[in-house]
Amino acid sequence: MRIYSSFVSTPIWLKYEHIVYDGGWITHAVILLTDLSRRLAMIPHEVLILERYALAPSSWEQDDAQSLFGSHFEAQASHLGAASPRRQVLTTANAEVLWEAARASSREEWENDYSSSYAIHAFKSHDLHDFDKITLRYVLSRQSNFARAVYPAVQHAIDTGIIALEE
């Protein structure tokens, strides 16, 4: 099992990451982190190991990048919006109710569910169909997985005056 994360701030990792770094990304960001995590996991509250989709629900491969950024011009975004402030908190008591609600949701066939992801490591290293760059209009149209994932934060920034709407 490999543990993937670049969100490490432990003093041990900071001390050793430059020592083991050999020019490759994997050396300090994956191998060192995995080794440290395995050794420190026996200490209560020292290491939190999340499943892969929590931090990396896609990859840098062209198909994943196309799935994330590719536009679906036929998609309607009217049912989408910020999460309800009265949304149920997940507990063992209501897990089945939430599971059934998720199954009955009106997601598009192409739409990915990033609700279990803390971050989306977005890669665009290929030329993609129907995608050039991220713009405010692109996000507000909500016709791609990336746009739908970041829309609530962008809409909040617009509502609070942090981002001005394009004219």
Per DSSP, the residues of 91-109 read -TTTHHHHHHHHHTS---T
pLDDT at residue 89, as a whole number: 67
pLDDT at residue 5, as a whole number: 44
pLDDT at residue 76, as a whole number: 64
Tokens 């099992």 sit on residue: 1
Residue 112 contacts residue 88 (beta carbons within 8 Å): no
Q: Give CA–CA dist 142/149, Å, rounded.
A: 9
Burial of 149 (0-12, 13-18, 19+ CB in 10 A): buried
Residues 6+ apart with CB under 8 A from 110: 67, 72, 75, 145
DSSP string covering 99-165: HHHHHTS---TT----TT-S-------S--TT-----HHHHHHT-SHHHHHHHHHHHHHHHTTSSPP
Burial of 128 (0-12, 13-18, 19+ CB in 10 A): middle
pLDDT at residue 167, as a whole number: 46
pLDDT at residue 4, as a whole number: 44
pLDDT at residue 33, as a whole number: 85
Q: Give the start-to-end residue ranges of the domains of the chain.
A: 11-49, 61-110+130-159
What the block records as the tokens of 102 is 């998720």
pLDDT at residue 166, as a whole number: 65
Give me the average pLDDT of each 10-residue run along the chain (167 residues): 46 86 86 87 83 80 88 68 56 78 76 82 77 90 91 91 80
pLDDT at residue 114, as a whole number: 83
Q: What is the pTM for the complete model shown?
A: 0.66
